[in-house]
Amino acid sequence: MIHLRDDCLVFEMSNGDKIPCSASSVTVELMGSAVDFLDRDVVEHAAAAVLHYFQNELHRTEVTLNEFTEALEKALRGLGLNVTCDAPKKVGPRVQADLRRLAAESGKAFELGFFARLREELRKELQLSPELIRFFGLRSCVKQLAGAQRWCPRCEQLSDHIVEFLRGCIIRENPPQPCGLLVV
């Protein structure tokens, strides 16, 4: 087990990730631009008080970001400041699809069938309102579609075409919230 510095807690994010970080760093992030309009010493003392509360009174080294935010707001209100911290953003799901599987499902239709199948898969994944869609297996998918044993200029063109096709599909589908695209 790693020993945390005295000024740190392990913060559990809304997506389940746990990140060790100093309470003052998290406070600056939560306060956003409001920190510029407040006395920095007051904010740092409030963050130190919240840190002390979790570590010494509750005997906890792990807290959720929401718990820390609520305690910080309460401490600042106790000092006479009416501050609302930025709410932690809800993280959408991250989905992934195997390009090799899509190429195999295309069968004898080759590229024509593949691109139609790829569009269907992208639409299906976008219905989940993901934060990120990850398509993996690009290199072997391209070699399979091109019928190539080794990477060649034709493979390079097809690879670029698949990535551009996915970008264009996401733009045309116009998802309600921003969605990242990762093709590997």
- Note whether residue 161 is domain-resident: yes
Pair (128, 59) in one structural domain: no
Mean pLDDT for the chain?
A: 81
Residues linked to residue 20 through DSSP beta bridges, in sequence order: 10
Question: Is the pLDDT assigned to residue 141 strictly greater than 80?
Answer: yes
pLDDT attached to residue 8: 76
Pair (63, 105) in one structural domain: no
pLDDT attached to residue 30: 67
Domain count across the chain: 2
| AA letter at 171 | I
Residue 150 and residue 183: Cα distance in Å, rounded? 20
The rounded percent of the chain whose pLDDT value lies above 70 is: 84
Give, in degrees to the nearest 5, the angle at Cα 47 between 44 and 50: 155
Say which residue, 72 or 15, is predicted with more confidence.
Answer: 72
User: H helices within the chain, ranges in order?
Assistant: 23-31, 40-52, 65-78, 99-106, 110-126, 138-146, 153-173
- Note whether residue 84 is domain-resident: no
Question: Is the pLDDT assigned to residue 164 strictly greater than 90?
Answer: yes
Give, in degrees to the nearest 5, the angle at Cα 124 between 156 and 117: 45
- Note whether residue 85 is domain-resident: no
Pair (62, 131) in one structural domain: no
- Note whether residue 2 is domain-resident: no
Pair (177, 99) in one structural domain: yes
- Rounded to an integer, the average pLDDT of 140-169 is 92
Domain residues for 32? 8-78
Residue after which a domain boundary falls, among 43, 78, 113: 78
Residue after which a domain boundary falls, among 78, 106, 131: 78
pLDDT attached to residue 33: 59
pLDDT attached to residue 81: 72
pLDDT attached to residue 1: 46
Tabulate helix, strand, coil % of the chain (nearest 5): 55, 15, 30
Torsion (CA) 74, 79, 83, 86 in degrees, nearest 10: -50
Residue after which a domain boundary falls, among 78, 102, 127: 78
- In this structure, the number of other CB atoms found within 10 A of the CB of residue 107 comes to 10
Pair (112, 142) in one structural domain: yes
Pair (55, 129) in one structural domain: no
Pair (119, 73) in one structural domain: no
CA-based nearest residue to 69, from 36, 23, 38:
23
pLDDT digits (tens, 9 = 90+) for 75-134: 878 877 776 665 544 455 778 899 999 999 887 777 888 999 999 999 998 888 887 888
Pair (108, 70) in one structural domain: no
87 to each of 12, 45, 54, 70, 146, how far by Cα in Å?
Answer: 14, 21, 20, 10, 48
Confidence of residue 37 (pLDDT cuts 50, 70, 90): low
